[in-house]
Amino acid sequence: MINSADLVQMGQDAKAAARQLSNLSRAKKDQALIQMAQALRNASENILQTNQEECQKAQEQGLKAAFVERMTLNPDRIEAMAQGLEKVAQLDDPINHVDEMWINENGLRIGKRRVPLGVIGIIYESRPNVSSDAAGLCFKTGNAVILRGGKETIQTNQAIVHALQKGLEAVDLPKQAIQFVNNPSHDLAGEMMTMNDSIDCLIPRGSKNLIQRVVQTATIPTIETGVGNCHFYVHEACDFDMALKILINGKTQRVSVCNALETLLVDQAIAKDFLPLAGQALKDHQVKIHGDQVSANYIDGVIPATTADYDEEYLDYEIAIKVVKDYQEAVDHIAEHSSHHSEAIVTNDYAIANRFMDDVDSACVYVNASTRFTDGEVFGFGGEIGISTQKLHARGPMGLEALTSYKYTIFGQGQIRE
């Protein structure tokens, strides 16, 4: 396992690699991404064996089934990781793209050109596919990356990164462009958060506790991502079948991800008709229900909800339900409890749908669709580095452009300022 001195060296190596990557042609980068994808496939047997051993250990330690599901790989997920790299290779390269250009009153030709951030540090938890997704997106945008995954999947992540490095070496690029911190020490993670000399941007992905620790500790500029207390508001003017379909998809299609539903809000006017249907549908999928007193009147076995329940990102087969008297109470509840990730309404009222889009201040706002679509690949970004819930620099699913900054290029003809 690496120590403090090794971490400093990793930072220096990443900085040197980033300088080399910043001037790579698109063709060279795409060639490397294709080689990285093939290297993943070649290493799949080893990666899956390693992952199986770590998942078994996690089960023996009594970790929740939803947590183990997040850390589990299978042949389809390995192939999806490889295909993700190939999709990134097919995307336009944003680096050196000129967003705009103009000539000012002094005759200076001023351009705004996309450039890499430099070295990106990513601190994440249980999902090992993050190693591949993040590395591919960072590499495509000319950034070096230092990855620090959770202790439960250290060996899996290391095997993935080793394969990616083989892909880089196959096209004569430095393996230091993609590095992995194989020491789960919290102290070492703290040191990584203050490596301003070598890391230009830090992105945490994982639980609320992890993200807040990084945001509060890091001296490096940080992009806050991921915590998803996602709401689904069933408006009185809605199609019940559509509402039930979206509810069950949003809550149960994959419970352990940040775009899964955590809170259901239902208009009082339809509560007596809709809630028994919703309650039965949720119970059919073994979802534990925390609810207010009104919802308990229509659904048997509801656990009395506390204020904390409405702030919870369960990441499990649990949901909080509240009956609201009208639209305004629904959006007020979302404003108070939302993590500003993804919110949805189901309604046939066009005016209400547009008000919801205006009134709800989250990264992604849906009308008559599941929040499970909040995903960089689904949005057409070829993948994502994370889902930003802040407003500065990037917001929502972060694809290639979110991993760039810009510089101004100014061409003159001898002008001086008077």
DSSP 370-393: -GGG--TTTTTSSS-S-EE-SSSS
Same domain (yes/no): 196, 243: no
Q: Is the pLDDT assigned to residue 179 strictly greater than 90?
A: yes
Same domain (yes/no): 84, 182: yes
Same domain (yes/no): 201, 249: no
**Percent of residues, the chain, with pLDDT higher than 70:** 100
Q: What Å distances lie between residue 105 and 113, 167, 233, 412, 418, CA to CA?
A: 20, 49, 52, 12, 13
The string of pLDDT tens digits covering residues 131-172 is: 999 999 999 999 999 999 999 999 999 999 999 999 999 999
Largest CA distance in the chain: 80
Q: What Å distances lie between residue 128 and 2, 85, 158, CA to CA?
A: 19, 15, 9
**Beta partners for residue 230, in sequence order:** 261
Same domain (yes/no): 339, 283: yes
Same domain (yes/no): 139, 268: no
Q: What is the rounded CA–CA span in Å between residue 326 and residue 329?
A: 6
Q: Write the single-letter amino acid at 275.
A: L
Q: What is the mean pLDDT of residues 299-325?
A: 95
pTM, whole model, 2 decimals? 0.85
114 falls within a domain: yes
Total residues found in the chain within this entry: 418
**Cα Rg of the chain (Å, integer):** 23
Same domain (yes/no): 148, 174: yes
Number of folded domains that form the chain = 2
Position 394 scores a pLDDT of: 85
Pairing of strands 109-116, 404-411: antiparallel
- The answer to whether the beta carbons of residues 364 and 344 sit under 8 Å apart is no
Same domain (yes/no): 221, 236: no
The string of pLDDT tens digits covering residues 182-195 is: 999 999 999 999 99
385 falls within a domain: no
- The answer to whether the beta carbons of residues 228 and 43 sit under 8 Å apart is no
Q: Write the single-letter amino acid at 225.
A: T
Residue recorded with tokens 């992952």: 51
Could you tell me how far CA 223 lies from the centroid of its own chain?
11
Q: What CATH code is carried by the domain that includes residue 349? A: 3.40.309.10
Q: What is the rounded CA–CA span in Å between residue 343 and residue 173?
A: 42
